[in-house]
Amino acid sequence: MTRRSRDSRAQGGRYLLVLVVMLAINFFLPRLMPGDPFLYLSVEDGTVSVVFSQQQIDHYKAYYGLDKPLHVQFGGYLLGLLRGDLGYSIYYNTSVTEMIFTRLPWTLFIVISSLVVSSVVGTALGAISAWHRDGMLDRILYAVMIVLSEIPSFLLGVLFLFIFAAQLKWFPLSGGRTVFATYGSVGTALGDILHHATLPVATLAVSRVGGFYLLSRNSMLTVITKDYIRTARAKGIGRRAVIIRHALKNALPPVVARIFMSLGGLFGGAVLVENVFAYPGVGRLMREAVGNRDYVLLQGIFLTITVMVLLMNWLADIVYRKLDPRVAR
């Protein structure tokens, strides 16, 4: 037990180290980007921009503390973080913490929903496939899943957008909810949000389902050759019960670990998918921030995503240890 707690302490230390390194990269990377956030000399899409005078640029830099030496800025940044203050967006003139936390639920919502869908469906299909190993069903499923797991999520998103939103008009083209809608009840509000979320969630789920399928199939294939499965079948237990109670249960640990591990990757996928569907999550905010060279906002978003991914990986470690005592040894 002591050894175990020492282990997890060492692991916690590693995560802390990663976090500190990430903080530093997070702070310095945007500042190494070429360009000045207040310099608008050119126009890209026929829009008009304010041209700031040097005095005004200086004023803003002083206001946002960007005129100070880098190490002073870094110190201020760390101090602010301790207070949960991520600073002010220099493009939108709004609190970054507020901007991110109003967007985060949208992203979490599609990430978690798609994870639930893809893991349940993927695992089930994997189990079925393994049971019918080398049969027709297995071969078809295997081929389809291999293809699905290789299609990038944003491409799938564009395809879905074109077919289901633009052509069939079953789902809205963009957004997270109907704009200016005033809902009569929580039910209609929920319906509206789910309707808007369907395509982004489906896109993410489909792009992830292949991974779960392959993992679950492999795991099952290993398990069903085991003696206890033969014993269970010999006892005359029904097929379904054998699969679910005996085989799947033992095949699950790697799948569950994968669920948590893939949360990190899903955040990456969500960034792209949100932009395809103009979904109001953190990913879309990130794109706006990059385009506007909004250092402060960028930093805040990167930090949030970093912390999320680290947290999920840590959680995956813990859960995996709990599920499979062999790992904790």
Partner 1 sequence: MHRRRTSLQFGMAFVALCLVVSLAGCSQKGEDTASPGQESGTSPLGPISAPAADQQTRTVAKPTVRLAGGNTGLPNPFKHSPRGPGMSKMQILYDTLLEKDEHGDIPWLAESWEVSKDGKTYTFHMRTNALWHDGQPLTAEDAAFTIGYYREHPPVVNDLLIGGSYIVTDAKALDEYTLQVTFDKVSPTYLTKIGGMRIIPKHIWEHVDDPIAFTGAGATIGSGPYKLDSYDPQQGAYRFIAFEDYWGPEPAAAAIEWIPVGDSVLAFQNGEIDLINAPADIVPSYRENPEFTVKTAHSFHSYRLMMNMDAVKALQDANVRKALVFGIDRQALVDKAARGAAMVSSQGYVLPVSPWYNKDIEQYPYDPDKAQELLGGATYTFSLLTDNSADGMKVAELIKLSLSQIGVTVNVQSVESKTRDNAVNTGKYELLLINSGGMGGDPDYLRTIYGTGGTTIKGWSDPQIASILEAQSVELDPNKRKELVYEAQKLIADQVPMIMLHGALDNFVYRPAKYDHWMFRYDHSKCDHNKLSYVIRTESEQAGQTT
* Subset of 229-268 contacting partner 1 (CB under 8 A): 245, 249, 252, 256
DSSP letters along 106-145, please? Answer: HHHHHHHHHHHHHHHHHHHHHHHHHHTTTSHHHHHHHHHH
Q: Closer CB to partner 1, residue 23 or residue 321?
A: 321
Q: Closer CB to partner 1, residue 110 or residue 145?
A: 110
17: amino acid identity, one letter: L
CB of 73 vs partner 1, minimal distance in Å: 18
Q: Closer CB to partner 1, residue 180 or residue 236?
A: 180
Q: Is 167 in the site for partner 1 (CB under 8 A)?
A: no
Residue 323, H or E segment: helix 295-323
Q: Is 63 in the site for partner 1 (CB under 8 A)?
A: yes
Q: What residues numbered 131-150 form the site for partner 1, per CB under 8 A?
A: none
Neighbours of 111 (CB within 10 A): 25
Structure tokens at 322: 């709990």
CB of 320 vs partner 1, minimal distance in Å: 12
Q: Closer CB to partner 1, residue 25 or residue 51?
A: 51
Let me know: does 283 contact 14? Beta carbons within 8 Å: no
Q: Is 180 in the site for partner 1 (CB under 8 A)?
A: yes
Identify which range of 129-137, 171-179, 207-215, 303-311 contacts partner 1 by CB under 8 A.
Answer: 171-179
CB of 46 vs partner 1, minimal distance in Å: 6
Of 2, 5, 53, 225, the residue at the interface with partner 1 (CB under 8 A) is 53
Q: Is 57 in the site for partner 1 (CB under 8 A)?
A: no
CB of 60 vs partner 1, minimal distance in Å: 9
Q: Is 78 in the site for partner 1 (CB under 8 A)?
A: no
Integer Cα distance of 289 and 255 in angstroms: 35
Size of the site for partner 1 (CB under 8 A): 73
Of 17, 24, 181, 307, the residue at the interface with partner 1 (CB under 8 A) is 181
Of 112, 143, 147, 155, the residue at the interface with partner 1 (CB under 8 A) is 112
Q: Is 51 in the site for partner 1 (CB under 8 A)?
A: yes
Q: Which of 155, 180, 176, 163 minimizes the C-alpha distance to 276?
A: 155
Q: Is 297 in the site for partner 1 (CB under 8 A)?
A: no
Integer Cα distance of 143 and 136 in angstroms: 11
Q: What residues numbered 183-212 form the site for partner 1, per CB under 8 A?
A: 183, 186, 189-190, 193-194
CA 243 centroid distance within chain = 31
> 222 CB contacts (<8 Å, ≥6 apart)?
251
Q: Is 226 in the site for partner 1 (CB under 8 A)?
A: no
At 95 the three-state DSSP class reads strand
Residues 313, 315, 316, 317, Cα dihedral to 10°: 90
Q: Closer CB to partner 1, residue 23 or residue 208?
A: 208
Sign of CA dihedral 303, 309, 313, 315: positive
Q: Which of 308, 250, 242, 254 minimizes the C-alpha distance to 122?
A: 254
> C-alpha distances in angstroms, 176 versus 79, 102, 297?
34, 13, 21
